[in-house]
Amino acid sequence: MKRYIALTLVCLALASCSNALTDALLNTFDPELTFSQIRNSPESHFDEQFMWGGFIVSGKHKEAGTFLEIVQNPIDVNGLIIDPDVSDGRFIAFFPDKFLDPSIYERGRLITTVGFLINTISGDIADEPYIFPVLEATETTLWKSDFLHFQNRRGWYTDYRHIGRWDWDHKFRRYGYSGYRNMDYGGWPDDRAPWP
């Protein structure tokens, strides 16, 4: 009986996520090309399309659109987050000409984004230099956090530690946008941060 109940719950969770990304998109990615490989040589992959997932750390809405900083997590072939405790780095998802409500796209929310790699941004994480790949989002899905509990028995944690600040003074290759400066990860938007 317990087995049938568990199976039913899993099926319901999968059904709630089944319309996340179009089948046409899911068949366009190279499964052998990892996030780490792309991050180590991003320039050779500019203008290529990728599907990355993870959880939102912070973001900002500017005239050019909305920018989200995301901690990358491994995903399966359908874009579902496999394990939020495993990461090969972070990336920026750029949503041109769109306002994303921070009460929905909030810190800690699971997200999968499809888009084109358009740039890299020099910054830092906890005072350590870091290069952020920038993905111009064309399709995105927010996941229900309860679904992750079916995927990962260790659960989902929203208590972040060792998160620092970073400075984004690099100009966008396509949009001429100067970006964030000194983002404070107390949530977004953060009025304490000296936004340009």
In tens, the pLDDT along 24-76 reads 666 677 777 899 999 999 999 999 999 999 999 999 898 999 999 999 999 98
| Domain spans of the chain, in order of start | 34-196
Q: β-strands 90-96, 128-142: how paired? A: parallel
What is the rounded CA–CA span in Å between residue 71 and residue 109? Answer: 10
Q: Region 154-173: what's the mean pLDDT?
A: 32
- For the stretch 65-99, pLDDT in tens is 999 999 999 998 888 898 889 999 999 999 999 99
Round to whole Å and give the CA distance between 1 and 81.
Answer: 28
Q: Which of 120, 195, 151 is nearest to 13 (CA)?
A: 151
At residue 68, the pLDDT reads: 96
Q: What's the 3-state SS for 29-97? A: CCCCCCHHHHHHCHHHHCCCEEEEEEEEEEEEEECCEEEEEEEEECECCCCCECCCCCCCCEEEEEEEC
Least confident segment among 6-20, 49-63, 78-92, 106-120: 6-20
pLDDT value at 161 more than 70: no
Q: Where residue 137 falls among pLDDT bands split at 50, 70, 90?
A: very high
Span 136-162, mean pLDDT? 59
- pLDDT recorded at residue 192: 30
pLDDT above 70 (res 125): yes
Evaluate if residue 135 carries a pLDDT over 70. Answer: yes
Mean pLDDT taken over the chain: 71
pLDDT band at 185 (very low <50, low <70, confident <90, very high): very low
Architecture of domain 34-196: Beta Barrel (2.40)
Instruction: Give the burial string for 159-176 (b: 16+ CB within 10 Å, else e).
Output: eeeeeeebebebebeebe
